[in-house]
Structure 1
């Protein structure tokens, strides 16, 4: 004979699915990956179905899986762009200006390691093909994400 706790028997499956949804939502806040959110939606959808009708545990699991997958497939990219923004739509001031730019080395650059450059009103991690000392004026050659590639600006060069 199987022992089942009287407390578990007295708890409504609707409440269990609802609380499971909350657990998924809270876990999403702790471990953001934007996947658990849709499992929470699936759990709440299952709770809603159970509030209207009584179905077996197997059907509940199918409802949970299907609703989670459908919302994940249909809504993830759209909601991700709403919550996290779309980097393709916005240009920052560094990308807008096509004119040659210069900066000042604030932390020596010793290839292949990174140094630091003050450029565009901010401090950037920087790489270079040669060693560059502090307070050297540099030309910004390329920007990849948050790292700029620089070269020293010689006295005869003007920007």
Structure 2
């Protein structure tokens, strides 16, 4: 493969690694995606393939040791030390009741730009505008309690 054609391979490696990282939660595979993106520009400057692979290896290693610790620390739940992602990241967040929650019924809460169907943790009614904390999530329904 000519060095000018290697750009396609670097893009493919970056995409495959980024997609694989979405399935895992350790921010390890993403470091190889970073390495591929660093090696990509060198393919346009007629750098020999062997040197592009060296650049990829060095950049991936640097990403594993320098970037990954910061990313993992940022993505960890401070209380449980678990990696939170997707919808589980809302647990413990303070939000506002946007549609009153009747006693043992459903209402809605607003968190950022998202609106969630909600139920009270203790079954009591919550008024619109009240500040609540999300304590659990089951599918698209969150359980809330009055924020302290």
TM-score (norm 1): 0.45
Higher relative contact order (CA 8 A, sep 6+): 2
Structure with bigger gyration radius: 1
